[in-house]
Structure 1
């Protein structure tokens, strides 16, 4: 059974949490055999990274970091603040080892108040994920404030793109795991 972690990477606001709930539903509709965990930083009491091994933390910090380390697929949702990722999300990355995302496929959902910030995922988040050895999906979902109303997504194109992100990420993960199994089967040990 594959482990999927959805991370809503902010302690404020509701749009990213809303988008991640839609994504959770899209993933569940495609494959109900997955072990899916949804973490919302608003509901967690995380320690500030101080350089310790992630296993030396406790409580919510240990639960989140362990889930991320054990995940096969990760979806990261984040709002764009001051033309960057939230500091709370960066703290999550700082809690993890450098190779934390090796052999993991990562999909991205970004929410923003303005279309001017659509490249923040490219310039801020993807380099961090690549450095941590993730296989980052090329396309991501960018959602503007105008796409939300009363706690729901009202733009059908956004819902379609969320569903497509779920489909393509699950597909890439399946193919990647098949390649890894083929490579590992070449060895006698």
Structure 2
């Protein structure tokens, strides 16, 4: 059975970020009735995430969520965008994860923002984060602006969500996702870089 965890970093309650996460959950259930879907709100774990950042040890409730994320077959990361990037709560959660736990794991990137100009943050802020953690971000990302929650934009938003989820499920149901943590390949290590870029003298 496929397991997918949706991590949402919405800071307010209610939150359009949480609403977007719930739309993703609906899409997963619609496209794969056998999948189990869990939605994790980082807002509820803010104090535990701060404690883990300061001490290096995750409190039990946070550790349970971390274990859930690590064990999941796929991940959907949903964050608000403020001033052209994700908030510290979102970054801090992924900072407390061990570097290699997302290696090879398919991930959908999604965000909300007050203006469509923030949509670029998915590519210049979110993708580099997950590339560093060696996760496999699906090509289709989803950004939701205030327009998308109106009657005219909702159908287009649902279409984008469905397409991103379809790409995620395709990876999970396909021929595997490539390398895993046991492969022990660091694309940014000195050894790998020296092999890939030998001296030209």
TM-score (normalised: structure 2): 0.80
Q: Secondary structure at the match of 2:49?
A: coil
Match of 2:83 in 1: 82
Match of 2:3 in 1: 3
Relative contact order higher in (CA < 8 Å, ≥ 6 apart): 1
Q: Which runs of 5+ in 2 are unaligned?
A: 180-201
Contact 1:6 1:20 in 2 (8 A): yes
Distance of aligned partners of 1:179 and 1:132 in 2 relative to their CA distance in 1, 3 Å threshold: closer
Q: Secondary structure at the match of 1:119?
A: helix
Trace 1:75-114 onto structure 2 (pairs within 5 A): 75-114=76-115
Q: Which runs of 5+ in 1 are unaligned?
A: 181-189
Separation in structure 2 between the aligned mates of residue 84 and residue 178 of structure 1, nearest angstrom: 28
Contact 2:148 2:156 in 1 (8 A): no
Q: Which structure's CA Rg is the greater one?
A: 2
Between the two proteins, the alignment pairs up a number of residues equal to 177
What's the offset of the Cα at 1:18? 0.4
What's the offset of the Cα at 1:118? 1.4
Separation in structure 1 between the aligned mates of residue 177 and residue 58 of structure 2, nearest angstrom: 34
Contact 1:98 1:132 in 2 (8 A): yes
Distance of aligned partners of 1:153 and 1:168 in 2 relative to their CA distance in 1, 3 Å threshold: farther
Match of 2:157 in 1: 158
TM-score (normalised: structure 1): 0.85
Separation in structure 2 between the aligned mates of residue 103 and residue 179 of structure 1, nearest angstrom: 6
Distance of aligned partners of 1:47 and 1:174 in 2 relative to their CA distance in 1, 3 Å threshold: same
Contact 2:10 2:43 in 1 (8 A): yes
